[in-house]
């Protein structure tokens, strides 16, 4: 094993060294000014139809001429016309080899999409056929009132009994009797036999069942995902090992989610054993809390059960495939569905923890312009928390109506996500058969609305990503990701299945994070509770430092939103921060219960002491205006402040009937601050159809030189500024659909 790891590391170092030699002798400004052939976006390449060698060659050449860096081939079976030759057949792999050769000849890249259609996890249907017991599972509850004093027989679904709980009717005290229930099966269902004491009782049985309606693997089970990797990933590597680490750098999985199974109740049959191994007690008696209020321990029971499910998800598909990728000289990317929605408990669970073990986080921006845009700081914050240098966005998919999908749309949507932390684009996408485009837009030279824009767009994207990738993010505001509180408030019965669209009642954190970037133009990083405990240190002078080796950040202000339930260890870190001069805002409510057992009084006592500090504040009913006033008062020395955004010229008359979102100035001058090569880069964009201007001020330091870098042209020019009130002031006009980097050095 040691020798294999050494070989992989050696190959990786050789590859990195080769890339470094390509730019040897060129500094960052020279690279920015000159378009680089090895940079550009990678397009999702929909393989609809019968693949022919000449067509593949011609299409890859046309993509190359239009500035694309590579392709991510997506084979199809459910979209007509489907891919021919059939997925994973010898003839299919022959066509795949042709793509690899054509790309390699042009120094382009192939991203290995890992399945047929979407979501991932089917192996083209082979998983269900070969390993039906390893398919996605969900939790089923049987809830019944019984008269006891005898042995009862209860018809049950086919599945594994996870818990049996007995209580008196209308009581919330449950007794686990799982070991006393005998289950027999006849192949179509089961029978539970249990002896009930005399009297009237409520019996709840919880089963983990295979969801036979779906085709996806049990992504909470590492063993199941390993079987999947044998059917797909191994088959590619067996044939194309020489391309891994050269033409193939990255893998890509798609759309995993809890709602891939019934009612988003995703579960796995190994849950109880692994839970007990971690916590030292069996979870049987906790299961009723997933469905209803069970008394004083409801919140903490849910935090433990939902929280552990989220750990299994993070340690399942993304971790297993990342481990596979590391052994094969590539990086794993991919995304759960709907990372941008307010209720993560129906999607991927813990939106930050999900990406902990994954090499390259990825999110999708689909359906329409600005859909879910306020939620993109969740995956972006995950990249910051876990020190990931690259964050990919699968972008433009199903942007409807198609009439607005022109060359400008390529820039508009990209500007929004760049300002929120994404630093690599994967356009969705180019179709093999452009006469049968099932999901708009068609992003290729064949689309007259975009044909003349693609090369310039790819050069623009390559310049932006040159700065935004492998650079350090700067934010002065940290926001505790209130996942413990979200878990404590959620249950399986009180929420309709909306795939995460409905907010979890009582917690409004999602609106807060939207106000910050869009309304207030104040950047921030969401901090996972585990990150606050393990990766953050308190420094003198009121600084909380995210102490990562590469992406370290220093916050002078910490916001704790709607955290009625909180980890006691988080409060201890907050107390240390406050005692060293840090400013804390509790927004929405004060913590009153712990995410750990028998700690509620300690939480309340600690909060009482914290509220006696002058630098600890509470806003019971936060809105954008109260948060804006608070930040203006207590973020005393902001590195950057954006103000006086105004329209200097209205939108073009021929765009008067276009969507209001194309004129919404709240989304202009949203920014991101990155540090690279000792320079401070501030990305500003105007995705609207209006001519705009803004007054931007910066905290002065020893660096007095300011430059304006234009990613559209590569032009770099000196930038005049004025000083006032101890700050540097710059007036930045931006034409419609235009962006700039202000650079301080």
The residue among 116, 92, 205, 107 whose CA lies nearest residue 155 is 205
Inform me whether the pLDDT recorded for 24 exceeds 60: no
> What pLDDT shows up at residue 14?
36
The tens digit of pLDDT for each residue in 523-555 reads: 999 999 999 999 999 999 999 999 999 999 999
Q: Are 62 and 442 in contact (CB under 8 A)?
A: no
For residue 691, pLDDT over 60 is answered with yes
Using the CB atoms, write b or e for 694-721: b if 16+ within 10 Å: bebbbeeeeeeebbbbbbbebebeebeb
**Secondary structure (3-state) at 629:** helix
Tell me how far apart the alpha carbons of residues 228 and 251 are, in angstroms, rounded to a whole number.
14
Interval 91-113: pLDDT, tens: 999 999 999 999 999 999 999 99
Please give the pLDDT value at position 702.
67
pLDDT surpassing 50 at residue 595: yes
Confidence of residue 7 (pLDDT cuts 50, 70, 90): very low
Respond yes or no on whether the N-terminal peptide bond of residue 119 is cis (omega within 30° of 0): yes
Q: How confident is the model at residue 412 (pLDDT cuts 50, 70, 90)?
A: very high
Spatial separation of the C-alpha atoms in residues 288 and 205, rounded to whole Å: 9
Per-residue confidence at 654, pLDDT binned at 50, 70, 90?
confident
Rounded distance, CA 662 to CA 719, Å?
Answer: 28
Task: Give percent of the chain with pLDDT exceeding 90.
Answer: 90
Predicted pLDDT of residue 388: 98
Residue 431: which pLDDT band, with cuts at 50, 70 and 90?
Answer: very high
> pLDDT value at position 726?
87
**What's the chain's Rg over C-alpha atoms?**
27
Tokens of 659: 């969507």
Q: Average pLDDT of the chain?
A: 94
Query: What string of DSSP letters covers 707-729?
Result: EEE-TTT--EEE---EEETTEEE
């Amino acid at each position: 094993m040691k020798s294999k790891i050494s070989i992989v590391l050696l190959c990786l170092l050789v590859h990195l060294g080769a890339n470094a030699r390509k730019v040897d002798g060129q500094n960052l400004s020279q690279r920015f000014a000159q378009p680089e052939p090895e940079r550009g976006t990678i397009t999702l390449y929909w393989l609809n139809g019968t693949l022919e060698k000449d067509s593949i060659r011609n299409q890859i050449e046309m993509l190359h001429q239009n500035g694309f860096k590579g392709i991510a081939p997506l084979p199809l079976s459910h979209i007509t016309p489907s891919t021919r030759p059939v997925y994973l057949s010898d003839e299919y792999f022959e066509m795949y080899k042709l793509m690899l050769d054509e790309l390699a000849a042009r120094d382009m890249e192939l991203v290995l999409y890992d399945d047929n259609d979407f979501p991932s996890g089917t192996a083209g249907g082979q998983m269900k056929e070969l390993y039906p017991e390893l398919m996605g599972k969900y939790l089923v509850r049987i809830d019944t009132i019984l008269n006891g004093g005898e042995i009862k027989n209860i018809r049950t679904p086919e599945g594994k009994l996870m818990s049996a709980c007995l209580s008196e009717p209308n009581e919330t005290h449950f007794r686990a009797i799982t070991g006393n229930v005998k289950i027999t099966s006849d192949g179509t269902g089961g029978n539970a036999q249990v002896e009930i004491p005399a009297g009237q009782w409520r019996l709840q049985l919880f089963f983990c069942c295979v969801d036979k309606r779906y085709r996806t693997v049990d992504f909470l089970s590492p063993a199941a995902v390993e079987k999947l990797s044998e059917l797909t990933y191994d088959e590619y590597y067996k044939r194309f090992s020489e391309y891994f680490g050269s033409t193939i750098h990255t893998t890509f999985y798609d759309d995993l989610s809890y709602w891939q199974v019934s009612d988003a109740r995703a579960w796995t049959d190994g849950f109880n054993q692994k839970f007990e191994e971690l916590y030292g007690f069996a979870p049987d008696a906790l299961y009723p809390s997933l469905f209803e209020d069970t008394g004083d321990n409801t919140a903490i029971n849910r935090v433990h059960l939902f929280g552990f499910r989220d750990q299994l998800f993070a340690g399942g598909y993304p971790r297993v495939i990342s481990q596979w990728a590391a052994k094969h000289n590539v990086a794993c990317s991919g995304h759960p569905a709907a990372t941008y929605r307010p209720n993560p408990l129906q999607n991927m669970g813990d939106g930050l923890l999900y990406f902990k073990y994954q090499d390259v986080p990825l999110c999708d921006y689909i359906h329409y312009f600005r859909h879910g845009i306020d939620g993109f700081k969740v995956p972006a914050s995950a990249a910051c928390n876990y020190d990931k240098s690259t964050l990919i966005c699968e972008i433009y998919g199903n942007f409807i109506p198609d009439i607005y999908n022109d060359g400008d749309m390529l820039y508009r949507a990209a500007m929004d996500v760049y300002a929120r932390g994404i630093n690599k684009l994967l356009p969705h996408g180019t179709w093999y058969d452009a006469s049968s485009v099932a999901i708009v837009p068609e992003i290729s030279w064949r689309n007259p609305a975009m044909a003349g824009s693609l090369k310039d767009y790819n050069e623009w994207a390559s310049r932006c990503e040159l700065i935004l990738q492998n650079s350090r993010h700067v934010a002065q505001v940290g926001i505790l990701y209130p996942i413990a509180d979200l878990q404590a408030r959620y249950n399986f019965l009180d929420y309709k299945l909306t795939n995460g669209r409905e907010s979890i009642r009582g917690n409004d954190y999602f609106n807060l994070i939207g106000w910050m970037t869009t309304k207030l133009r104040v950047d921030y990083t969401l901090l996972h509770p585990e990150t606050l405990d393990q990766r953050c240190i308190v420094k003198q002078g009121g600084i909380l430092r995210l102490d990562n080796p590469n992406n370290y950040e220093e916050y002078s202000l910490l916001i704790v939103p709607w955290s009625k339930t909180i980890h006691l260890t988080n409060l201890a870190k907050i107390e240390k921060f406050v005692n060293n001069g840090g400013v804390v805002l509790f927004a929405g409510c004060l913590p009153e219960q712990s995410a750990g057992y028998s700690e509620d009084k300690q939480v309340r006592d600690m909060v009482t002491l914290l509220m006696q500090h002058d630098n600890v504040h509470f806003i019971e009913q936060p809105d954008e205006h109260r948060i804006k006033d608070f930040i203006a008062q207590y973020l005393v020395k902001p590195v950057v402040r954006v103000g006086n955004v105004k329209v200097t010229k209205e939108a073009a008359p021929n765009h008067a009937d276009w969507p209001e979102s194309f004129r919404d100035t709240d989304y202009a001058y949203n920014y991101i601050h990155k540090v690279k090569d000792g320079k401070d880069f501030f990305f500003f964009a105007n995705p609207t159809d209006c001519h705009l201007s803004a007054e931007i001020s910066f905290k002065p330091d020893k660096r007095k030189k300011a430059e304006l870098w234009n990613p559209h042209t590569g032009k770099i020019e000196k930038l005049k500024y004025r000083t006032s009130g101890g700050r540097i002031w710059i007036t930045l006009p931006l034409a419609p659909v235009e962006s700039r980097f202000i650079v301080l050095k």
